[in-house]
Chain A
């Protein structure tokens, strides 16, 4: 239902051209929950902005149900990383959740029903009359999630939504997202830099390379559908998948090409999770785990 095809984005300024995203192609099926994970500075946010129609790609297309995305589509909602800046501080929690519904010209009774439902679903039924700045960071992000759900989107995009909340809140919010995804049967594209989070949440993990970004690998997460912070995270299969994604990212950081270039997009991941014998950089890569963040590569022109 969501097709990203040959997406490319370059920024130009002061005579230089920075290629943030080189060539991205992937496809999300109806009702799928996919996580996008990649090294820092790999253009995840750029990608998400292009997918949501907030930014025009330099080349390539994004299509939702076959219709090209040229601006934010009406059935798509986005949850931003900066919860504190994506909520209107002059509106109450209710006001924030209700605002998009007013723009949709829904009748008052329906709006009330949707707002109540969404606030209840994120566990904030009691906080409707408060202002966002009276709430903790995790609660503010719940408000942003409630606003997205009340909008009744078919596609929900999330841009590192839990990067700025503490670990415990984060675990709660992850379970919340899994729950909401099942309950409201949306297609969810979840961008994160956290490998554990990606494997825990997704049915599928799309691994991005370092900038200029291409799809490094596409890993099918064959964990049971009912996930639990304790048992899922301690399952051997979780560790394997985690290790696989980790290795891919290390490879990506060190400039290795896509390991399964032919297999990308098919979701076919090797079950044994062993190092790719074709990739000599895979083992060396572990040393760079805390390496400096990659900045977008500067290119003098098309390479």
Chain B
């Protein structure tokens, strides 16, 4: 009896949380549907048609020719930016002199909007994937770099003294003290970089590519394949959601100590 009641309660709870998660999207989709039907505009496709087109367009060889190269480009650029940002950020964070010398240049480079580099890089690197990766890197590297510098600068002096007392130096110091204590900040930088990476991936493909998601969306628009265009936009949105979910999961795992520490210091 009670087991049955429990099961009912769990089911009710599950239904309630499903309603919370899906409620607003359902309302928005309904609104859109109504708007598409009542406006009669050619460019406003209703969600049903978009969903049908989505399956048709993307679950096909386009997945291999457009989606995978785009995701590959995104991840390559992002990974390069992460390595570069952390690799340069750590020495800058550790040395006051290096920082003083590099700061004005970094501030300038950071202020240059990355999309404006597309024409330049087209000339310099050419029209291939490495150029598009360079665009992604040029935008993503800044939040990672600047957050790494700040995180490394903020290493606790007591922990640094502890390392000195126990003779912990070199690579072990870097791994166990510097990178770990900067990791919450580095993660914040990586999170910002992720959304920048998606934007720059699309922009670089719109300007200078013959394949990829950005290219596909522009092509659909130019050939008046409006439902297809919409489905591309939806796919990009879903891609962003999926990537940030993966990121959140990885961060949760890597920074479990940080959450615990914060919770403990709030509790006191």
Q: Which residues of A contact B (CB under 8 A)?
A: 49, 52, 54, 71-72, 74, 76-78, 80, 82, 85-86, 88-91, 99-100, 102-104, 131, 133-134, 147, 151
Contacts and interface: CB of A to CB of B under 8 A. Distances in A.
Interface stretch (B51-59, B200-208, B242-250, B256-264): B256-264
B176 A99 contact: yes
A133 B265 contact: yes
Given A78-B161, A80-B158, 16 more contacts: A71-B164, A72-B165, A72-B166, A80-B162, A86-B158, A86-B161, A88-B177, A89-B260, A89-B261, A99-B168, A100-B167, A103-B166, A103-B169, A131-B257, A133-B261, A147-B166
Contacts of A99: 166, 168, 176
- Secondary structure at the B interface, as helix, strand, loop or mixed, is helix
Contacts of B176: 88, 91, 99
Interface of B: 156, 158-159, 161-162, 164-169, 172, 176-177, 180-181, 183, 257-258, 260-261, 264-265
Contact of B158 (A72, A82, A103, A151): A82
Contact of A86 (B159, B168, B181): B159
Question: Which 8 residue pairs spanning A and B have beta carbons closest together?
Answer: A100-B166, A85-B158, A133-B264, A90-B257, A133-B261, A78-B165, A89-B261, A72-B165
Contact of A88 (B164, B180, B264, B265): B180
A38 B165 CA distance: 24
Contacts of A85: 156, 158-159
A72 B168 contact: no
A134 B161 CA distance: 23
B224 to A, nearest CB: 55
B166 A77 contact: yes
Contacts of A102: 172
Contacts of A71: 164
A127 to B, nearest CB: 15
Given A89-B257, A90-B180, A91-B176, A103 B168 contact: yes
Nearest to B268: A137
A77 B169 CA distance: 16
A169 B10 CA distance: 45
Contacts of B180: 88, 90
Contact of B161 (A77, A80, A147): A80
A191 to B, nearest CB: 15
Nearest to B166: A100
Nearest to A96: B162
B168 A100 contact: yes
Nearest to A78: B165
27 contacts: A52-B165, A72-B164, A72-B166, A76-B165, A78-B162, A78-B165, A80-B158, A82-B158, A85-B159, A86-B158, A88-B176, A88-B180, A89-B257, A89-B260, A90-B180, A90-B183, A90-B258, A99-B166, A99-B176, A103-B166, A103-B167, A103-B168, A104-B167, A131-B257, A131-B260, A131-B261, A134-B264
B191 to A, nearest CB: 19
A102 B166 CA distance: 10
Contact of B166 (A91, A134, A151): A151
A133 B262 CA distance: 9
Given A82-B158, A90-B180, A74 B260 contact: no
Contacts of B167: 72, 74, 100, 103-104
B165 A88 contact: no
Nearest to B254: A90
B257 A77 contact: no
Among A52, A71, A82, residue most surrounded by chain B Cβ atoms (within 10 Å):
A82
Contact of B159 (A52, A74, A88): A88
B172 A134 contact: no
Contacts of A76: 165
Contacts of B158: 80, 82, 85-86
B264 A77 contact: no
B18 to A, nearest CB: 34
Contacts of A80: 158, 161-162
Contacts of B164: 54, 71-72
Nearest to B260: A133
Contacts of B166: 72, 77, 99-100, 103, 147, 151
A52 B162 CA distance: 11
A100 B166 CA distance: 6
Contacts of A88: 159, 176-177, 180
A82 B156 CA distance: 11
Contacts of B261: 89, 131, 133
